Structure 1
Amino acid sequence: MSTTLTTWSLEQTSPSDLRPATPPEGDDITIARAEVPSAEFSRFLYTAVGGDIHWNDRLSLSYKEWQELVERPGAEIWVAYERGTPAGYVELDPQADGVVEIVYFGLIPAFRGRRIGGHLLTEGVRRAWDLAERWPDREPTRRVWLHTCSLDGPHAMANYERRGFRLFDTKVEEVEETSTPGPWPGAHS
């Protein structure tokens, strides 16, 4: 069975485009870079965040392929924690000519709807803009972009727009429906 999938691509072309979110109340949320490349931790975040919203493009990757992704120079994963528990993440993908893609961003379902997403996205965008400060062989970031689709959470597009992202492309296609794998096979009914 097929379904219509709309994919929107959005961008910022200057650090001044970022409109920061107000951090959530209290000091229970911290955001830290996962500085040790770990295929296991990356896969955990990917499945925990994307399992209920049809993220499946990386599920068939081997351990070696996954490790190669997280070990690329300039690739970074920034994780939001609530009192030590991972709540969500941002994965930055360095590309040519000073371009950085926010390739994955989201929250584990139990942490959605609590004002963490805007704060995490704000910090992820800041880290995309200052990526070259941590990777001296990279040229300064001149563009940050991402894509979202009609399968993502209902507040995803609004969050991106509130943070200052502008739409630059829309693609509509018919795709085969896939099952929602959950964080591990059989976790979601």
Structure 2
Amino acid sequence: MLPAWLHPQGSSTRFEVGVTFLETRASRPAPVLPEGVSLERVLPPALPLYRKLYREVGEAYCWWMRRPMPDEKLAEIVHDPDVYFMVLWQADGTPLGFYELDLREGGDANLAYFGLLPAAIGRGLGRALLDSAISQAFTAGCWRLRVNTCTLDHPRALTNYQKCGFVIQYVVQEIWNVPDEYVPAELRRL
């Protein structure tokens, strides 16, 4: 049963979404980040920055499930010591992207969210960020790192995960009733 905050109150758009679940059991070396770029863990209080990056990174791909989530529920996740909210920064303090690495299940890690801001796409940063997440998970002692992507994500997401050693485990078809306020303009009903 879905929590009440995931049920649309107003108008919504129905999407048939293919969700691909992947995993890797092999670490990757920590990459050398490009000059002028750093990766840092953001510690509590992190909600305003998290919400900003979640919205801006995921807006074009219909990331919506964390947007209506109450602050206290989101804080339970993001502020947990076994959840790593990692931000990729440009030297001038501009965020470029982020990932959320969930290590709460012991050695069975989950890359819950991962992505770059639109202005950072195409600069070769995605591979370095993904390699960093994989390396961090295995350095922390995980035996498996899971991730999922869907047909609404960036068109290269699945291929990029596979290039970094993730293997498809299964694919499910889901129906999402997304509140219209979270649907990207190019996907809105006419």
- Whether the TM-score (by the shorter chain) exceeds 0.5 is yes
Q: Relative to 1, partners in 2 of residues 1:68 and 1:173: Cα closer, same or farther, differing over 3 Å?
A: closer
Q: Does 1:57 align with 2:65?
A: yes
Distance 2:89 2:183 in 1: 20
* Alignment size in residue pairs: 174
TM-score, normalization by structure 2:
0.80
Letter in 1 for 2:82: G
Indicate if the aligned counterparts of 1:47 and 1:55 stay in contact, CA closer than 8 A.
Answer: yes
Q: Which residue does 2:85 correspond to in 1?
A: 77
Query: Which residues of structure 2 form unaligned runs of 5+?
Result: 1-12
CA RMSD of aligned residues (A): 2.6
Query: Which residues of structure 1 form unaligned runs of 5+?
Result: 132-139
Percent of matched pairs sharing the same residue: 28
Letter in 2 for 1:158: T
Indicate if the aligned counterparts of 1:10 and 1:167 stay in contact, CA closer than 8 A.
Answer: yes
Q: Which residue does 1:4 correspond to in 2?
A: 16
Note the C-alpha offset of 1:78: 1.2
Q: Which residue does 1:137 correspond to in 2?
A: none
After TM superposition, where is structure 1 displaced by more than 6 Å over at least 4 residues in a row? none
Q: Which residue does 2:111 correspond to in 1?
A: 102
Q: Relative to 1, partners in 2 of residues 1:8 and 1:20: Cα closer, same or farther, differing over 3 Å?
A: farther
Q: Relative to 1, partners in 2 of residues 1:61 and 1:163: Cα closer, same or farther, differing over 3 Å?
A: same
Q: Any idea what SS the aligned residue of 1:119 has?
A: helix
Distance 1:105 1:61 in 2: 18
Q: Relative to 1, partners in 2 of residues 1:70 and 1:2: Cα closer, same or farther, differing over 3 Å?
A: closer
Distance 2:63 2:180 in 1: 10
**Which shifted more, 148-157 or 1-10?**
1-10
Note the C-alpha offset of 1:73: 2.5
TM-score, normalization by structure 1:
0.81
Note the C-alpha offset of 1:20: 7.2
Q: Which residue does 1:136 correspond to in 2?
A: none
